[in-house]
Amino acid sequence: KNEVEQSPQNLTAQEGEFITINCSYSVGISALHWLQQHPGGGIVSLFMLSSGKKKHGRLIATINIQEKHSSLHITASHPRDSAVYICTVRGGSNYKLTFGKGTLLTVNP
């Protein structure tokens, strides 16, 4: 079992819909990151969380440390949001990031 589990693996939405991607982890962590990767593209860091909630534009990320769970929400989704969203956690070692397998989001116009 992967230490970081994401759901769903694939998600298709219509433009304007509210999107939620979930991440559960089984290890103790110092921080959790949400990353975005466009097909064939590089990786961009969206959020770093160690507690609570963060918002940036239409993106909102939350984390519940006790439940070892984080969610990434996208409000008013747009086709340009189509990408793979990756959850990664930092545990005892700050450089050995543990990654989820990613959620492929497709937003149709």
Q: Which residues bind other proteins (CB under 8 A)?
A: 2, 4, 31, 33, 35, 40-45, 48, 86, 88, 90, 93-97, 99-102
Strand 10-14 and strand 103-108: pairing? parallel
Q: What's the one-letter identity of residue 24?
A: S
Closer Cβ to other proteins, 2 or 14, answer by number: 2
Cβ of residue 99: shortest distance to other proteins, in angstroms?
Answer: 4
- Measured from the CB atom, the residue of 14 and 45 that comes closer to other proteins is 45
Instruction: Yes or no: say if 57 and 74 are a contact pair by the CB < 8 Å rule.
Output: no
Q: Please identify which residue in the block is written with the tokens 């956690």.
A: 89
Residue 76 Cβ, how far from other proteins at the closest point, in Å? 25
Nearer to other proteins, 2 or 108 (CB): 2
Other CB atoms within 10 A of residue 82 CB: 16
Minimal distance in Å, beta carbon 75 to other proteins? 23
Q: Looking at the DSSP assignment, which residues form a beta bridge with residue 56?
A: 59
